[in-house]
Amino acid sequence: MRETPVPDLTYPPLTVAGLSEAELLERIFPRLNRGPETNDSLLLGPGDDAAIVAVPDGRVVLSIDTQVADQDFRLEWNNGYRSTGYDVGWKAAAQNLSDINAMGAHATSLVVSLTMPPETRVAWVEDFADGLTAGIRELGATQCSVAGGDLGRGSELAVSVAILGTLDGRAAVLRSGARPGDTVALAGTVGRAAAGLALLESGPNVSTLTREQRGLMDTQCRPQPPLAAGPLACEAGATAMMDISDGLVRDGNRLAAASHAVLNLDPAALRQLAEPLKPASVLLGADAMAWVLGGGEDHGLLATFAAGRPLPAGFTAIGSVEAPASTDGAGVTIAGRRAESGGWDHFAN
Ligand SMILES: Nc1ncnc2c1ncn2[C@@H]1O[C@H](COP(=O)(O)OP(=O)(O)O)[C@@H](O)[C@H]1O
Ligand SMILES: Cc1ncc(C[n+]2csc(CCOP(=O)(O)OP(=O)(O)O)c2C)c(N)n1
Ligand SMILES: [Mg+2]
């Protein structure tokens, strides 16, 4: 659990412009890598020109993801909630750990770059470091350390994380291996982060929200990707896998296209996924099914498994893989009918 943050009582509040880079780093370093675990692969951590990591498997899984203020989060949302540094640090960890999870791997280290306007409070940056550390630990990525990073000044607050992972000798699970007859399965949630985003953007004031509604907001601000499920799916012989960051149908279309297949989803399974989102959808006059089909950022896993195989822990069947009727017929269908895409596109949305 999160420790109660020490309030910043200085007035005016200390901002990053009031410290040197070295002084700011001195405040960040002790907040990183605080777990009891030791990471054998980190040979040299923060403090030199670059970090050094061992790659015992001979291969490294590598990804990068960026969050920019007002594109991926807001410091102040329309419902009055203020994203804490802790939220943004947690989400930076979660969305990057998720891409490693989606290959069937586990994360070993990451580097983080923070671009900040000069008026950013030092307390916010410290909270960011705490959130990053807590996200890694509490999501279960106990072998992942923060190997280093970068600080810079800019007009927008932006956070980039590049992350490394290992497959421990296994073959990765790609998007391209789904075959007709396979079961389509989901681990983690879909639609919760989108419902949370709708509450943050247009919902009633944050102070009036119920526990359930706060929980949806929390999924948007501090997502909980199912990190045990990726390596488990890999070991269980998943034929294809990806994480859902942009929406079930949009991402499902990507997996389907890579596999030259149709993912035919079961409407009853989709209705079950929508059911817990109903109260929030009624409150906002929104469509719970649209959140299930189009909502990104829960970072659940979409995977396919050979028919008849028991699904690994955490996965539920939501459909089956079929052969496309024509060469350009790959995509997602619901009970045989082509699904509308929706979902997130940075340049179209
Ligand atoms: N600017 C870029 N240059 C090269 N490759 C990119 C760039 N942006 C994205 N990609 C690649 O395109 C693929 C899809 O990217 P993205 O949608 O960001 O993946 P994900 O949703 O899993 O994070 C990834 O393999 C990614 O590495
Ligand atoms: C202020 C704000 N507007 C919109 C969104 C919704 N949103 C932003 S990015 C995104 C999709 C996931 O981000 P992306 O950078 O595409 O991650 P990737 O697919 O690369 O993992 C969504 C649904 C948000 N989280 N915050
Ligand atoms: Mg991904």
* Ligand 1 atom with the shortest distance to the CA of 99: 22
| Gap from CA of 213 to ligand 3 centroid (Å) | 26
ipTM of the complex as predicted: 0.92
Can you give the C-alpha Rg of the chain in angstroms? 21
205 vs 77: CA distance, rounded Å: 10
Q: Is 40 marked within a binding site?
A: no
pLDDT value at residue 346? 78
99 in ligand 1 pocket by Cβ < 6 Å?
Answer: yes
Under DSSP, is residue 206 helix (H, G, I), strand (E, B) or coil? helix
* Ligand 2 atom with the shortest distance to the CA of 70: 1
3-197-156 Cα angle (round to 5): 75
Protein residue with least CA distance to atom 24, ligand 1:
63
- Give alpha helix (H) positions in 114-266: 122-138, 192-202, 211-221, 229-235, 248-259
243 in ligand 2 pocket by Cβ < 6 Å?
Answer: no
pLDDT value at residue 41? 87
The class level of CATH for 183-338 reads: alpha beta
| β pairing state of 61-68 and 52-53 | unpaired
65 in ligand 1 pocket by Cβ < 6 Å?
Answer: yes
| Gap from CA of 15 to ligand 1 centroid (Å) | 34
Q: Is 245 marked within a binding site?
A: yes
245 in ligand 1 pocket by Cβ < 6 Å?
Answer: yes
251 in ligand 1 pocket by Cβ < 6 Å?
Answer: no
| Gap from CA of 235 to ligand 2 centroid (Å) | 30
The H-or-E segment that residue 146 falls in is strand 145-153
User: What tokens were used for 246?
Assistant: 């942009």
User: Cis omega before residue 12 (within 30°)?
Assistant: yes
246 in ligand 2 pocket by Cβ < 6 Å?
Answer: yes
* Ligand 1 atom with the shortest distance to the CA of 242: 22
Q: Is 87 marked within a binding site?
A: no
* Ligand 2 atom with the shortest distance to the CA of 296: 23
Per-domain boundaries in the chain: 16-166, 183-338
CATH number assigned to the domain with residue range 16-166, chosen from the 4 options 3.50.50.60, 3.30.1330.10, 3.60.15.10, 3.40.50.1000: 3.30.1330.10
pLDDT value at residue 3? 61
Which residue pairs, CB below 8 angstroms and at least 24 apart, start in 77-83? 77/200, 77/201, 77/206, 78/200, 78/201, 78/202, 79/199, 79/200, 79/201, 79/202, 79/203, 79/204, 79/205, 79/206, 79/209, 80/205, 80/206, 80/207, 81/200, 81/206, 81/217, 81/221, 83/221
Mutate-to-test residue for ligand 1 from 71, 91, 99, 163, highest number of ligand atoms within 8 A of CB: 99
Q: How do residues 123-175 score in pLDDT, each as one tens digit?
A: 999 999 999 999 999 999 999 999 999 999 999 999 999 999 999 999 999 99
Check if 16-166 and 183-338 are the same fold.
no
Instruction: Check if the beta carbon of residue 145 is closer than 8 Å to that of residue 31.
Output: no
pLDDT value at residue 5? 64
Ligand at shortest distance from the CA of 77: 2
* Ligand 1 atom with the shortest distance to the CA of 246: 21
pLDDT beneath 50, residues of the chain: none
Ligand at shortest distance from the CA of 102: 3
Question: pTM higher than 0.90, yes or no?
Answer: yes
248 vs 234: CA distance, rounded Å: 20
| Gap from CA of 102 to ligand 1 centroid (Å) | 14
297 in ligand 1 pocket by Cβ < 6 Å?
Answer: no
Under DSSP, is residue 218 helix (H, G, I), strand (E, B) or coil? helix
134 vs 136: CA distance, rounded Å: 5
